[in-house]
Amino acid sequence: MLNVLKLLGGDDDDEESREPDPPGRSMTEAAPWDAFWTDQMANGMAMFVDLFCRDGRLIDAMRASRLKTILCAGSGISQEPKALALAGFDVTVLDISPLAIKIAQKWDLPKELLLKVIEGRPARRQGRVRFVTGDLLDTTICPGPFDVVLERKTLQLFPDADRPAAMRALAARLAAPGIFFSHTHRNFGARTAARNVPSDWFRAERWPFWEGGEPLRTRVAWLSSSSS
């Protein structure tokens, strides 16, 4: 496990009081998220960041449709992008937290754990990962287009009034055909509805829902959910 305090250049006694959970934090400011990830690393919670990442079916669908590029939006310190690169894809990571980007880059997760994320589907060709710090609402950053836009537990944290703008910003980066993969975690704090909240926007915008198994002909929404 990385020592996040060393990355920050601080001492063990320098930690200030922080909120332990994401809901309620600004989605357009970096400092609260730097504090959040500092707390997660210090309390050992970072080890659970990829607990619900299982990408075997997505990888199979991408390979069947010859898709190559992925944008991981708001993925924090997740090592899923490195796992997807191991599966042969070219991955761009976009997150608002400079600290999260630094940790995600420096964290050297054992290959066997990356293989669990991609469910044993490595590729002969090693893909690449590029890390970018920025606000996902700014479509001039990582403009794409990407074959897949993948977000996990990020869109659900936006206030209801702001979520459509965030979804439009991500959709603007998606190629056609392409997959907008959205994952909601159902017990992620009081602000999270008991449904896959991005689904309302997809339905209103008449996006087809898709989970592989048939030819990819247009831009589609692939929804995933988990609970704990």
Provide block-wise average pLDDT over 10 residues at a time, the chain (228 residues).
47 40 74 93 84 94 97 96 98 97 94 96 96 98 98 93 96 98 76 65 97 94 90
**pTM score, whole prediction:** 0.88
Output DSSP code: residue 205.
T
Number of residues in the chain: 228
The owner of tokens 């609970």 is 227
Q: Residue 109 in contact with residue 137, Cβ under 8 Å?
A: no
Predicted confidence at residue 24, as pLDDT, reads 57
Predicted confidence at residue 46, as pLDDT, reads 76
Provide the residue type at 16 as one letter: E
Predicted confidence at residue 14, as pLDDT, reads 40
CA angle, 141 then 147 then 152, to 5°: 70
- 106-115, long-range: CB within 8 Å, 24+ apart, which pairs? 106/2, 106/7, 107/2, 107/77, 107/79, 109/79, 109/82, 111/86, 113/79, 114/79, 114/82, 114/83, 114/86, 115/83, 115/86
Predicted confidence at residue 20, as pLDDT, reads 41
CA distances from 103 to 97, 129, 168 (A): 10, 14, 28
- 172-175, long-range: CB within 8 Å, 24+ apart, which pairs? 172/139, 172/143, 172/144, 173/71, 173/139, 173/142, 173/143, 173/144, 173/145, 173/146, 173/149, 174/144, 174/145, 174/146, 174/148, 174/149, 174/219, 175/69, 175/144, 175/145, 175/146, 175/147, 175/219
Predicted confidence at residue 59, as pLDDT, reads 98
Predicted confidence at residue 197, as pLDDT, reads 79
What is the set of domains in the chain, with CATH numbers? 4-46 (no CATH), 50-226 (3.40.50.150)
Predicted confidence at residue 7, as pLDDT, reads 47
Task: Give 190's Cβ-side CA count (13 Å radius).
Answer: 2
Residue 120: Cβ-neighbour burial (10 angstroms; 0-12, 13-18, 19+): exposed
Output DSSP code: residue 209.
B
